[in-house]
Amino acid sequence: MVEIDLNHIYKKYANAEEENSYAVSDFDLHIKNKEFIVFVGPSGCGKSTTLRMIAGLETITEGELKIDDELMNDVVPKDRNIAMVFQNYALYPHMSVFKNMAFGLKLRKYEKDDIEKRVKYAADILGLTEYLDRKPAALSGGQRQRVALGRAIVRDAPIFLMDEPLSNLDAKLRVSMRAEIARLHQRLHTTTIYVTHDQTEAMTMADRIVVMSMGEVQQIGTPQEVYVTPRNKFVAGFIGSPSMNFIDVTYKDGVITDAEGLKIAVPEGRAKILEKQGYNGKQMTLGIRPEDIHAEEAFSETWPNSVVEAEVVVSELLGATSMLYSKVDGTEFVAIVDARDYHKPGEKVKLSFDINKAHFFDIETTLAIR
């Protein structure tokens, strides 16, 4: 049983002379026992810095870090009982897999029998039993990464911190290791904080996602929450692949238009909200996910006022679906449609915007209008 509290954490580096130049600002999060939390964001957003502050590898400038209600700000890394897996994992070249996994335990003066039991258990979970006598040079990249995970498992620490552990693996291996880490969490139930810049990893593995940008938390929520109800334009654009389409529009009396000639009706319910929030006659950003732009006739017949005639600029057939990079006059967007609705570049296609699923963002604050 372990719970982690990050109470208004700030990080400022010694060489940052400006008063408000924080690498991490006001990071506030309660992590529940057994939770799998993913910190996600572009490089430099502060996610690894936050993880390193939890590990004790970076000092905390302001705020409190508590593990099971115990203040940890000044506790040295080795006394935090945390196991870490890094992006670039090295192994001792002259030690066998067994010794690599056992070394940390030996230094912590664990009993020999206990060490053997723990290493064999971890090797069994990770499918490394037959490789225990091998040296790292005789292992593949995936096997070496498993040994790195094994070194964390044998510690039996109540908290795992993982800093982009799959970034150095090739795409295929990354997918299989992703599933392996998820399975591992289901089996061990260790409270895990996982850092990645890959939103797919975040969406597929997390119980909750913390989306970060420029040192600040943008949104905390389940994968479903951050995908369906993004708090602001950044989250909306970062989560989802391909990214959400953004078009600057003006709303007026139930219709949105843009400077390039796009004109779409807004369903009554959405229109009421926009008007209630004082956006009638104002500019805003329309956000619509590629899968919410449809090419099916049935959809355009039901919502005739949401149809635009677009020209396909680039099209990609992906098997079950097609990606149509299209434009209406100067407005460009991408739609994911059924493979049967594949169109060649240069062809005209009628596309319907499902405005009920669209998002509107304030042009200044970039916050979602709800």
Binding residues for another protein (CB under 8 A): 13-18, 20-22, 41-44, 57, 76-79, 84, 86, 88-95, 103-104, 107, 151, 213-215, 237-238
Q: Taking a C-beta distance cutoff of 8 angstroms, is the pair 93, 101 a contact?
A: no
Output 82 or 271, the one with its CB closest to another protein: 82
Q: Is 58 exposed, middle or buried (0-12, 13-18, 19+ CB in 10 A)?
A: middle
Closest approach of another protein to the CB of residue 90, in Å:
4
Closest approach of another protein to the CB of residue 149, in Å:
13
Output 18 or 253, the one with its CB closest to another protein: 18
Output 17 or 69, the one with its CB closest to another protein: 17
Measured CA to CA, the distance from residue 99 to residue 102 in angstroms comes to 5
Closest approach of another protein to the CB of residue 208, in Å:
21
Closest approach of another protein to the CB of residue 58, in Å:
9
Residue with tokens 């897996």: 85
Measured CA to CA, the distance from residue 260 to residue 330 in angstroms comes to 5
Closest approach of another protein to the CB of residue 74, in Å:
14
Output 77 or 281, the one with its CB closest to another protein: 77
Output 155 or 343, the one with its CB closest to another protein: 155
Output 78 or 340, the one with its CB closest to another protein: 78
Output 39 or 279, the one with its CB closest to another protein: 39
The C-alpha angle with vertex 69 and arms to 201 and 27, in degrees rounded to 5, equals 45
- Length, in residues, of the chain: 370
Output 107 or 298, the one with its CB closest to another protein: 107
Closest approach of another protein to the CB of residue 252, in Å:
27
Output 119 or 337, the one with its CB closest to another protein: 119
Closest approach of another protein to the CB of residue 332, in Å:
12
Closest approach of another protein to the CB of residue 32, in Å:
26
Rg (CA), the chain: 25
In what order do the strands lie in the sheet containing 255-257? Answer: 263-265, 255-257, 245-252, 283-288, 359-362
Output 16 or 71, the one with its CB closest to another protein: 16
Closest approach of another protein to the CB of residue 125, in Å:
20
Closest approach of another protein to the CB of residue 18, in Å:
5
